[in-house]
Amino acid sequence: MIRLGNVLVSPGEGGVYGERTLDGYRVWDPYRSKLAALYMLGGGVDLAPDMKVLYLGAANGTTVSHVADYAGTVYAVEFAPRPMQDLLEVARRRKKIVPIMADAGRPEEYAPFMEAVDLIYQDVAQPDQVGIAERNLVFLKPGGHFILMLKTRSVDVRRDPVEVLGEARAGLERHLDIVDVRWLEPYHHDHAAIVCSRRG
């Protein structure tokens, strides 16, 4: 991952969502992107051109566009029509992005368009975030990585975030090895990143 001084950047054509550029690179803002926050905090999985990625919760494609600057094919799943319109525009300019309008909780809807991937990145802010992750593991190659961005308030706003994180971690541990767990403070409140790998 490229940093210019203390600034995380990605190597692609700019002007996607009004992001700044620096020395010809696109600035990847950790306050706008949880994945950028994870990298700035010293975590994450390095992206490479030969990697295939399944991205769940693509929204309007801001983070997706940065991932596509580094990785190979990015399958970007989003179920809301409005952000999907923006995502389509981003995908029109970045041919490596495959936009898929579907419910990430129903992977059978997009299984026909998929191949095995090296990384699954999930940022869906739903109550059943671990269940959605479990249902998508069929696409993850042995030795591949899963990054779950857990929004604890979406799971249960009344519960202690630490307890919610512990439960999510235990759920993922049934299928995956946990590589790293960290809160995304000061960039994103009540969000934690759980980085896992699939046994080879």
* Residues making contact with ligand SAM (CB under 6 A): 33-34, 57, 59, 62-63, 77-80, 83, 103-105, 123-126
CB of 121 to ligand SAM, least distance (A): 8
Q: How far is the CB of 107 from ligand SAM (least distance, A)?
A: 10
Backbone angles phi, psi at 135, to 5 degrees: -70, -20
Whole-angstrom Cα distance, residue 187 to residue 145? 23
Smallest gap, in angstroms, from Cβ of residue 170 to ligand SAM? 22
Nearer to ligand SAM (CB atom), residue 73 or residue 126: 126
Q: Which residue number is nearest to ligand SAM in terms of Cβ?
A: 57
Which tokens belong to 17?
A: 């969502």
Q: Which is nearer to ligand SAM, 64 or 172 (CB)?
A: 64
Q: Which is nearer to ligand SAM, 25 or 79 (CB)?
A: 79
Nearer residue to ligand SAM within complex by CB, 126 or 197: 126
Least distance CB 142 / ligand SAM (angstroms): 25
In terms of DSSP H, where are the helices of 71-160?
A: 81-93, 129-136, 152-155
CA–CA gap between residue 71 and residue 133 (Å, rounded):
21
Q: Are 53 and 46 in contact (CB under 8 A)?
A: no
Residue 37: how many other CB atoms lie within 10 Å: 26
* First-to-final CA distance of the chain: 24
